[in-house]
């Protein structure tokens, strides 16, 4: 459809996006969105801007939707962290994950999500009292929350009106370049445009037919790809946004993951390839993928199938969404080969850390692109290392994204490297129908074991202190000392980390994608 109704690009006013023309991102872990990986030094503004991935982040200085939550969160909501910036996002991911694994989500959890919709069809990040709070401030409407809610509700079925109204709102706030911004009024970014494409596909709408001034979402994404004038190792990758001052493109791994998925005409729920699905937890994925790879393949993305071919500073052949997506997949494959089957995050001068959220979404994107062996190899790395993802087990979006990654290659989430991801998800919110009250998962049990050791140590310290007190009473002439020698022990982090990030920061943002 050609979107002609509703507010058009530039009609929205107010809010940080309208003031700056761009969105700056804080900690992205709350929605599973990783920090960007920069291969060249950048100016501060865009270096902090972000890779929102479909997983999407919280704008610096963003204002929570009216009716901020109190201590008593809705029982139907997944997660115990402040939902002001990611309530709809994490709920949608959790429901998608349960559905992907073959379970029927609890009706109250589904209805909570549907009830978050505004009268104009949009979704905000979170509304504590949707029955009493109108969505008067249009700048709080969130394209990412709206799009992921569409993906979840369309997959679950029974909410055609909600889905239709949301798609209509998304079409109405499309930018003139064919893309979408995080909030209405901002410049288009790769990740917001990508998640909207996933929503359109889930709703049965051809993204190519949703246009503004003759431009569609694929046009917007193609314009963000680094081409033949970029360094060879960066060709085929995507920028999150052009530099707001110079217009230059800087490659961003997290944005590239999102775009590759979208250019396959897919959202976060990817049906596994029947030929490659074996129903395992990916235990042999690393070995199988390694055996299937060409030993003569070089790490340069130019040598990989689908890599961008150049004749001077011009690409060879006709540029299509398919060729653009293939070049992006080739870029990611080269990055994964160089990084031991996972992506990393970090800034110049800082130590690189695994980008768990983007790595999990990479599995989904490459599976959608037909790169089964590479997708399985990446899943194998996640299976072995997901326990290192800081606080992932407390974050519904993180656990849900792992479930969706496993589903994309036909792996079983109930036996994911010793972790029952479905049980972990049920610990964070309403259990799906047919599943009893959640009990500790395998990984939780392991943590409990280590927790028991901590308790033994603490009890020992208490006993020791008690003995010291007794001795000090009996030997009053001897001054007390050493009482302050007891440390604080290991702290339990209160922040959450979804998705896609190394979780190096906390904050009210996505603390991931």
Predicted local confidence at residue 489, as pLDDT:
37
Confirm whether 510 is domain-assigned.
no
The C-alpha R_g of the chain, in whole angstroms, comes to 24
411 and 461 part of one domain: no
**Per-position pLDDT tens, the chain of length 513:** 444 333 333 233 233 333 333 333 333 333 443 333 444 444 333 433 444 344 433 333 344 555 454 558 999 999 999 999 999 999 999 999 999 999 999 999 999 999 999 999 999 999 999 988 789 888 899 999 999 999 999 999 999 999 999 999 999 999 999 999 999 999 999 999 999 999 999 999 999 999 999 999 999 999 999 999 999 999 999 999 999 999 999 999 999 999 999 999 999 999 986 434 444 444 444 444 444 444 433 343 334 558 888 988 888 888 889 999 999 999 999 999 998 999 998 766 788 899 999 999 999 999 999 999 999 999 999 999 999 999 999 999 999 999 999 999 999 999 999 999 999 999 999 999 877 555 554 444 444 433 433 433 444 444 444 444 333 433 333 333 333 333 333 333 333 344 434 333 333 333 344
The reported pLDDT for the residue numbered 104 is 98
Say if 500 falls within a structural domain: no
> What's the pLDDT score for residue 58?
39
- 201 and 331 both lie in a single domain: yes
Statement to judge: residues 401 and 475 lie in one domain: no
* DSSP label at residue 354: E
The DSSP result for 41-91, as a single string, is: ---HHHHSB----SS--PBTTPPPPSS---SS--TTSS-SS--TTTHHHHH
The pTM of this model reads 0.73
Residues 353 and 472 in one domain: no
Classify residue 132 as exposed, middle or buried by CB count within 10 Å of its CB (0-12, 13-18, 19+): exposed
Q: Are residues 184 and 226 in the same domain?
A: yes
> Does any domain span residue 8?
no
Q: Which helix (H) or strand (E) holds 258?
A: helix 253-263
308 SS3 class: coil
352: left (phi over 0), alpha (psi -120 to 50) or beta: beta
Residue 4 class from Cβ within 10 Å (0-12 exposed, 13-18 middle, 19+ buried)? Answer: exposed
User: How confident is the model at residue 412, as a pLDDT?
Assistant: 96
- Shared domain for 167 and 60, answered yes or no, is yes
- For residues 182 and 125, what is the distance between their CA atoms, to the nearest angstrom? 11
pLDDT score recorded for residue 501: 40
Domain termination site, one of 379, 405, 439: 439
Residues 60 and 99 in one domain: yes
3-class DSSP assignment, residue 333: helix
196 domain-assigned: yes
CB 12 within 8 A of CB 138: yes
- Quick one: tokens of 159? 């909410």
Decide if 102 is inside a domain. Answer: yes
- Do residues 422 and 103 touch, judged by C-beta distance below 8 A? yes
Examine residue 3 and state whether it is found in any structural domain, yes or no. Answer: no
CATH number of 341's domain:
1.50.10
Q: For the beta carbon of residue 429, count every other beta carbon within 10 angstroms.
A: 27
Token pair 């049906």: residue:
271
Would you state the torsion angle of the CA atoms of residues 328, 285, 294, 226, taken in this order, to the nearest 10 degrees?
10
Number of folded domains that form the chain: 2
- Indicate if 370 and 465 belong to the same structural domain: no
Print burial letters for 391-418: b (CB count within 10 Å at least 16), e (below 16).
bbbbbbbbbbbbbbbbbbbbbbbbbbbe
Scan for tokens 């339990």, then name that residue. 492
Tell me: do 318 and 255 sit in the same domain. yes
Shared domain check, 314 and 246: yes
384 in any annotated domain:
yes
Judge if 175 and 220 occupy the same domain: yes
* Domain that residue 415 falls in: 29-439
Is residue 24 domain-resident? no
482 SS3 class: coil
- Residue 68: both structure tokens together: 């901020």
In this structure, are 454 and 410 located in the same domain? no
Q: Return the closest-CA partner of residue 55 out of 240, 206, 328.
A: 240
């Amino acid at each position: 459809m050609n979107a002609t109704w509703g507010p058009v690009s530039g009609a929205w006013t107010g809010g940080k996006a309208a003031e700056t023309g761009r969105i700056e991102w804080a900690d992205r872990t709350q929605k599973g969105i990783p920090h960007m990986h920069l291969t060249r030094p950048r100016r501060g503004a865009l270096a902090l801007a972000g890779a929102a991935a479909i997983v999407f982040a919280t704008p610096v200085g963003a204002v929570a939707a009216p009716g901020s939550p109190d201590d008593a969160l809705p029982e139907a909501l997944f997660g115990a962290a402040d939902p002001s910036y990611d309530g709809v996002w994490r709920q949608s991911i959790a429901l998608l994950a349960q559905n992907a694994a073959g379970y029927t989500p609890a009706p109250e959890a589904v209805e909570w999500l549907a009830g978050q919709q505004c009268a104009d069809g949009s979704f905000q990040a979170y509304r504590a009292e949707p029955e009493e709070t109108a969505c008067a401030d249009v700048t709080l409407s969130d394209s990412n929350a709206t799009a992921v809610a569409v993906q979840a509700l369309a997959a679950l079925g029974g909410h055609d009106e909600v889905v239709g109204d949301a798609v209509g709102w998304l079409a109405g706030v499309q930018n003139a370049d064919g893309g979408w911004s995080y909030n209405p009024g901002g410049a288009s970014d790769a990740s917001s445009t990508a998640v909207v494409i996933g929503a359109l596909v889930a709703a049965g709408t051809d993204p190519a037919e949703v246009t503004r001034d003759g431009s569609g979402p694929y046009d917007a994404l193609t314009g963000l790809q680094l081409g033949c004038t970029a360094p060879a190792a960066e060709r085929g990758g995507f920028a999150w946004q052009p530099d707001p001052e110079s217009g230059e493109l800087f490659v961003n791994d997290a944005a590239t993951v999102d775009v590759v998925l979208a250019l396959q005409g897919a959202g976060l729920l990817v049906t596994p390839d029947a030929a490659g699905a074996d129903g395992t937890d990916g235990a042999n994925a690393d070995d199988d993928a390694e055996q299937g790879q060409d030993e003569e393949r070089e790490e340069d993305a130019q040598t990989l199938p689908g890599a961008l071919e150049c004749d001077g500073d011009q690409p060879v052949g006709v540029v299509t969404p398919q060729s653009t997506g293939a070049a992006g997949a080739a870029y990611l494959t080269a990055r994964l080969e160089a990084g031991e089957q996972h992506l990393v995050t970090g800034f110049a001068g800082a130590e690189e850390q695994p980008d768990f959220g983007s790595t999990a979404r990479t599995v989904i994107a490459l599976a959608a692109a037909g790169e089964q062996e590479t997708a399985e190899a990446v899943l194998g790395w996640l299976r072995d290392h997901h326990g290192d993802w800081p606080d992932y087990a407390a974050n519904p979006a993180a656990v849900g994204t792992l479930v969706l990654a496993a589903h994309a290659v036909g792996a079983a989430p109930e036996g994911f490297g010793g972790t029952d991801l479905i049980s972990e998800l049920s610990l964070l919110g309403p259990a799906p129908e047919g599943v009893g009250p959640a009990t500790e998962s395998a990984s939780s049990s392991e943590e409990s074991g280590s927790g028991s050791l901590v308790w033994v140590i603490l009890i020992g310290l208490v006993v020791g202190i008690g003995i010291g007190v007794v001795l000090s009473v009996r030997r009053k002439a001897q001054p007390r000392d050493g009482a302050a020698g007891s440390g604080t022990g290991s702290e339990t982090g209160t922040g959450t980390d979804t998705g896609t990030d190394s979780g190096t920061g906390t904050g009210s943002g996505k603390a991931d994608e």
